[in-house]
């Protein structure tokens, strides 16, 4: 239920903490030193971490770019850790190679469907 005093900053901070806690719980599976295959790590990301930020993603289409950038940074950090990507690999290349949608594109797609 949406309240009259709902503010994006509080919601974004709450979701950021939730994502961080979830990631800490599964870091031993998704981390750089994990023995799991890259395919399995990506599948775990899509099943465990992605639903945290995609829940009610239709509303994220109406927020500022700075709020969606927070999710984008989280996604990049996790993908870099999963695949042990070196610093010189661009995020766009990482997303392209993994065939992962960029957060802003995914949010826009869901927001258009919601309208």
Q: What is the mean pLDDT of the chain?
A: 85
Q: Write out pLDDT tens, residues 34-58.
A: 999 989 999 999 999 888 888 777 7
pLDDT of residue 2: 55
Q: Is the separation of the CB atoms in 60 and 111 below 8 Å?
A: yes
Is the pTM above the cut of 0.75? yes
Q: Which residue has the higher pLDDT, 106 or 94?
A: 94
Predicted confidence (pLDDT) per residue in 14-23, tens digit:
888 988 999 9
Ramachandran quadrant class, 36 (left: phi over 0; alpha: psi -120 to 50; beta: rest): beta
For 27, 28, 44, 48, the CA distances from 24, given in Å and listed in that order, are 5, 8, 13, 12
For the chain, the domains span 9-114
Residue 104 confidence (pLDDT) above 90: no
């Amino acid at each position: 239920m949406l309240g009259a005093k709902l503010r994006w900053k509080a919601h974004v901070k709450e979701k950021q903490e939730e994502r961080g806690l979830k990631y800490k719980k599964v870091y031993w599976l998704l981390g750089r030193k994990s023995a799991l295959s890259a395919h399995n790590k990506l599948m775990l990301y899509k099943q465990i971490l992605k639903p945290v930020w995609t829940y009610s993603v239709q509303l994220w289409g109406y927020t500022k770019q700075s709020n969606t950038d927070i999710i984008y940074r989280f996604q990049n950090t996790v993908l870099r850790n999963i695949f042990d990507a070196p610093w010189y690999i661009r995020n766009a290349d990482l997303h392209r190679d993994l065939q992962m949608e960029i957060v802003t594109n995914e949010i826009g797609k869901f927001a258009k469907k919601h309208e």
